Structure 1
Amino acid sequence: MKAAIVREAGHAPVYGDFAEPVPSADEVRVTVTAAAISHVVKGRASGKHYSSSGQFPFVVGIDGVGRLDDGRRVYFVVPKAPFGSMAEYAVVSPAHCIALPDDIDDITAAAIANPGMSSWAAYTERAKLKAGETVLINGATGTAGRLAVQIAKHLGARKVIATGRNIDALRSLAAIGADVTIPLVENDAALGESFKQQFAEGVDVVIDYLWGRSAERLLIAAAKFGRDAVPLRFVQIGSSSGADITLPSAVLRSSAIELMGSGIGSISVDGLVHAVGKLLRATTPAGLTVAVKPVPLSDVERAWPEDDSARRTVFTMNAVTS
């Protein structure tokens, strides 16, 4: 079968032939129609993601959309290694397949599932977000962050605060639900003052896609200016600003901050699948939107380095519903 193949660590996928997967008695075969690039997929391809197996070669991709042999249209996740989702066929456990509602097309489903799941699972599985609470999204200008704004409002957040480095993209967030926007400027004093005002007014949940310096400033501001003995659930999802931070121990001793992660390992695969199912069923009724760039899988070598956070690159194969 044709597939996007990673032959060694540090090398981008190439388009080529790979053995077709054969399902066992407790697995199902998916004829894949669409699969999207994500940070996890890129990390695994490079061999640097914490969930990477370290075994090469393999077909890249952890999720996608396709059809079972009985014709059912599904979103699927965690195909059997070394057969990823960016191929003509994948093999998965039936428990890792979700029937797609008729009101969402293949490309949109493939594009929105992973970035939308990142915040949906963080809100519902980790932070246990309640209607009427205030959410701060650190790093809201990328695809996942923009969806996090929309999903927070859909789940009942009273107020959504969004931070970001791209000023133009940050301004556009007001149209999709952001009540307050905070530019991540270099001046620590100015940034600290902006954070101080928001924590003084009350923040219940922080969703962090950046880590690095801005996360340090957020945690310090939360400890200094947050409400006494009122827990702040700080959920760490991504690290595009850096893998490490320096955090004074007094920040945790002097506050009711609950620091947690959200992702593969901190949430079970079943929990993630459950979250994606709810997200996909809500996509059309809630009006959730994502910018998409469809690309034939045969163009993977050209499109892979061009992928960015502004649009989701979705590879298409076989017959696709668009």
Structure 2
Amino acid sequence: MKAAILKAFGSPLVIEDVPAPVLGTGEVIVDVVAAGVLSYAKEVFSGQRPYLLETPVVPGAGGIGRVRAFGPDATRLSVGDWVFCDPIVRSRDDAIAPDITLQGLSAGNAEGGLRLQRYYHDGSYAEQMLAPTENVARIPDFDGAQAAQWCGLASLLVPYGGLSSIALRAGETLVVNGATGKFGSAAVEVALAMGAGRVVATGRNPAVLEELGRRFGPRVRPVVMAGDEEADRAAILKTASGPIDCVFDILPPRATPAQVRAALLTVRPNGRVSLMGGVGMQGGEDLGLPYRWIMRNNIRIQGQWMCPREAVARMIGIVNAGLIDLGRREVTTFPLAEINAAIDHAAANAGPFSLTVVQP
């Protein structure tokens, strides 16, 4: 079969013939139809982002495809089923604290994640891929012509994991801190689908904030951040026009702790906070949160990396119910042979409403 291979960091991917995957118990082979290309894939493959990924490797984190074969432990799948391949692979020998690897992207920071990666080594930039049975989610009543659009599911699942972890409820007011990026804008969309009564969307890009309001209506209330912690906090509180139940932070590594605190400290007593961003990951000071304020106000602060397994089926249900329209994104597709052009395109079109997809 054909596959795109990263032979070394800093080199372009090459298309080669490689052996097709061999089925084992507890596994599924999927014919890949569409796989999303991350906007920062070029940074990963160049080595600029030091992800734990052993080369040579077929990269690609998840995608949409059809079941080719499955092991004896699968009781609901059929050959030909349309499925979403979840790249979050978990070890099976520790249900409480499993090791995790992102198939085709990163083993995280743990030795156990690297051991998983060495087995589920190759990702979705190939004509076929091997995945654990539990990572293959069937999409009911699926129109194959929409396969590229459905790659947008991946960006929705990340904030859904964070919002679910703090049990966002219908009618609540939520602050999305960092709403102008791909995951932040997805958080706005997911929160509205979950029933949020009001979403205060913060960011430094007025044009994107205005677009969020235009696309999603008056329940979205934009706040342009100025970079002054106290002034930004006051602006968030004024725009919310009432108690803030939850804060979801998805700011990137280049953001400062003050930008996180500006939003986090707006949450009401007994409020909840989800941290999914990257602040501090490239060095620098940590958040420096006030212990006394957290304790006296019963604040729940929840860290969340990616999403739990059941989130995939639930998000598929949300989309199929019409609560989220995957057709809102501008999708650009590339054949597998043009994978390097796809990576360049994704980097140049990193906006929240664009999606780059490779179709093996």
TM-score using structure 2 length: 0.75
The one-letter amino acid paired with 1:136 is: V
Q: 1:146 Cα shift? A: 2.3
Aligned residues of 1:216 and 1:247 also touching (Cα < 8 A): no
Gaps of 5+ in 1: 318-322
Which secondary structure state, in structure 2, belongs to the residue aligned with residue 136 of structure 1? Answer: strand
1:191 partnered with 2:227: no
1:73 partnered with 2:116: no
Once structures 1 and 2 are overlaid, which stretch shifts more, 52-61 or 178-187?
178-187
The equivalent position to 1:216 in structure 2, one of 249, 258, 270, is: 258
The equivalent position to 2:274 in structure 1, one of 224, 229, 235, is: 235
Q: Counterpart in 1 of 2:147?
A: 106
Aligned residues of 2:258 and 2:287 also touching (Cα < 8 A): no
Which secondary structure state, in structure 2, belongs to the residue aligned with residue 114 of structure 1? Answer: helix
1:119 partnered with 2:159: yes
Q: 1:37 Cα shift? A: 1.5
Q: Counterpart in 2 of 1:82?
A: 121
The one-letter amino acid paired with 1:286 is: L
Once structures 1 and 2 are overlaid, which stretch shifts more, 253-262 or 132-141?
253-262
Q: Distance in 2 between matches of 1:218 and 1:240?
A: 8
Q: Distance in 2 between matches of 1:8 and 1:263?
A: 27
Which secondary structure state, in structure 1, belongs to the residue aligned with residue 290 of structure 2? Answer: helix
Which secondary structure state, in structure 2, belongs to the residue aligned with residue 58 of structure 1? Answer: coil
Q: How does 1:85-164 map to 2 (within 5 A)?
A: 85-103=124-142, 105-110=146-151, 112-124=152-164, 126-164=165-203
1:275 partnered with 2:311: yes
Aligned residues of 1:32 and 1:66 also touching (Cα < 8 A): yes
Q: Distance in 2 between matches of 1:244 and 1:231?
A: 31
Q: Counterpart in 1 of 2:93?
A: none
Question: What do residues 234-285 of structure 1 show as CA deviations (whole Å, max 9, x unaligned)?
Answer: 2222338974564564523323443332224xx5xxx23x212221222241
Aligned residues of 1:199 and 1:226 also touching (Cα < 8 A): no
Aligned residues of 1:136 and 1:160 also touching (Cα < 8 A): yes
The one-letter amino acid paired with 1:299 is: E
Q: Distance in 2 between matches of 1:200 and 1:243?
A: 35
Q: Counterpart in 2 of 1:36?
A: 36
How many residues of Structure 1 are paired with residues of Structure 2 in the alignment?
305
1:236–1:245 Cα change, 3 Å: farther
Aligned residues of 1:101 and 1:281 also touching (Cα < 8 A): no
Q: Counterpart in 2 of 1:261?
A: 303
Q: Counterpart in 2 of 1:320?
A: none
Q: Distance in 2 between matches of 1:62 and 1:248?
A: 30
The one-letter amino acid paired with 1:261 is: G
Aligned-residue CA RMSD in angstroms?
Answer: 2.9
Q: Distance in 1 between matches of 2:278 and 2:27?
A: 34
Aligned residues of 1:143 and 1:290 also touching (Cα < 8 A): no
Once structures 1 and 2 are overlaid, which stretch shifts more, 100-109 or 245-254?
245-254
Question: What do residues 203-247 of structure 1 show as CA deviations (whole Å, max 9, x unaligned)?
Answer: 222222215546524425643x543xx233222223389745645
Q: 1:188 Cα shift? A: 4.7
Which secondary structure state, in structure 2, belongs to the residue aligned with residue 312 of structure 1? Answer: strand
The one-letter amino acid paired with 1:134 is: T
Question: What do residues 272-303 of structure 1 show as CA deviations (whole Å, max 9, x unaligned)?
Answer: 3x212221222241142333221112111122
Gaps of 5+ in 2: 69-78, 88-102, 104-118
The one-letter amino acid paired with 2:261 is: L
Aligned residues of 2:255 and 2:279 also touching (Cα < 8 A): no
More helix by share: 1
Aligned residues of 2:155 and 2:183 also touching (Cα < 8 A): yes
Q: 1:305 Cα shift? A: 2.1
- Identity over the aligned pairs, expressed in percent? 26
Q: Counterpart in 2 of 1:182?
A: 223
